Amino acid sequence: MDLQLAGKRALVTGSSSGLGEEIARLLAAEGAAVVVHGRDEARTTAVAKSIREAGGEAGVATGDLGTDEGADKVAAEALGAGPLDILVNNAGVYQPTATWDSTSPGEWADIYNINVVSSVRMIQRVVPGMRDRGWGRVIQISSVTGHLPQPSQPHYAASNAARNNLAISLARDLKHSGVTSNAVAAGGILVPAVRESLTHMGKQNGWGDTWEQIEPNLVEALSPNDVGRIGRPRDFAGLVAYLAGPRSEYITGTTVRIDGGWYDA
């Protein structure tokens, strides 16, 4: 299917690695001009260079979205080559070992600033231009923990619920404008660092010696789902690419869960 992204310009925040990088690569492969964002200039530039070497169009915007000044810098660099049609708010952090007892109120505020307010900063700087032009796509990347919070990482789950809520509120504000707003609630994402740590965990728990042995046992123990595996970055990027294009014009104000049918054990 032609997703009709040719001629569109997209900013993907937090795209110097992980899921954001995969989203940027897929949007570029589908014909969009992408702006790769990160805080590390060398790593961000390397991703953009790799996209260009693969035949795509990619620019760079660097800065810390946790501050107004950083968001101003990122917006200026992203908009410098032209208006943006697509904003993918992917930047965020998580702390796998965080618990109710170990997480201070200050840490709750910090993760809310990074995972929620950073998205607000970029929306306020990018979306007015979309509204003026009468077309645009805003996509929040969140986690399924916003729907199914667990005992661990309570502040992370709460921030993802806020991201989902933000996307719906924005859609109401953008009604009849030609700009849509949605959230993608992702299940577990198997990036290299996660695979390494989970392989170590699996061996410690006797779930197997190889990743092929460990994965189904790990999924059953920690995040049971109907597919029986952990999501790969391309699984999520494909949905984002669809939502980013004209073919998704009748989808707005919703959170799409993509988690293999994960259920709360």
**Distance between CA atoms of 73 and 192, rounded to whole angstroms?**
30
> Residue 145 carries which DSSP code?
G
Rg (CA), the chain: 18
Contact 120, 64 (CB under 8 A): no
Closest-CA residue to 9 (of 63, 65, 56): 56
Query: What count of other Cβ atoms lies within 10 Å of the Cβ of residue 152?
Result: 16
Active-site annotation holds for 156:
yes
CA atoms within 13 A on the CB side of 45: 3
Contact 93, 64 (CB under 8 A): no
**Catalytic entry in 156, 242, 250, 263:** 156
Specify the amino acid at residue 219: V
Residue with tokens 């509204």: 131
Residues annotated as catalytic (active site), given as ranges? 156
